[in-house]
Structure 1
């Protein structure tokens, strides 16, 4: 029992010393002692220390992490509605949406014209770079109009510089309206901003 108590005192002393910060302020010295003692040699106690077995692995957990999210909110706004008939064709209202993902600087994207042929609608938009820097971020922009028209194939043509983004591969990019005229030919303009 005495050995256990001595061991407890040693362990508590070691833990107490480890949990505090000591700064030496003065040098010290031991007293001079002249003692003539005879003793048998002692023996230090032996300890069998069993350490905890610690394994470090990974696992998948659902945790909350901060994310920047652009929230699309619904608002009532005035939007153009184009209504046109084609002989022998049923029509329905639908939204024509053009989107682009840009970086570097803010941009503006506007649907400028819609032209029609017998079986296709051409949505012609203009992508224009503005002056405000986006830094190292990207931005998705869009414009839309509604049409009451027969279910025709839709091709989007954007006049402006194509940003180097995979998302922008859905549309054809050209440098000028002259190129648009060369691509479309004799399509009839049904909407112009």
Structure 2
């Protein structure tokens, strides 16, 4: 599949993705990408965030590719259970935080946990760092295995955001390009 053949839903995490974040850069470069906007970025409410992702999936007119970062991963994973996942071609999930860890800050992020652990009904890829302050690599490895997702080891890359030096993130762009090129249109979109 080509990027132009998909509705690419950019799902940022806590406090949104700023202008230098790779998600914002990809949104600006990919003509078929759009951000899932949340009413409250700094005080996220799980039900509200999940509902917004479900609404955007429902509004899609082309196969959906989810591109989630951090708390956006949790919102996306919870939304999949409620959405018409027959519209979803794949999910690119980056830096999933450990939302079941009582040490996570701010504490209200725990309301997004625990993650559903059932296999995802479409191809998925999890990119995880070995020194992410919001989630241990082993935790990301375990959820990726449960979801049936391919795990990409990003080495020591922090939280894979602009603060950790991943504004442009060309390596991520290359991994995403390969991932989307291997996706097939869901049955409801096939010619």
Which TM class, normalised by the smaller chain length?
under 0.3
Q: Which has the higher strand share?
A: 1
Q: Which has the higher helix share?
A: 2
Q: Structure 2 length as normaliser, TM-score? A: 0.24
Q: Structure 1 length as normaliser, TM-score? A: 0.24
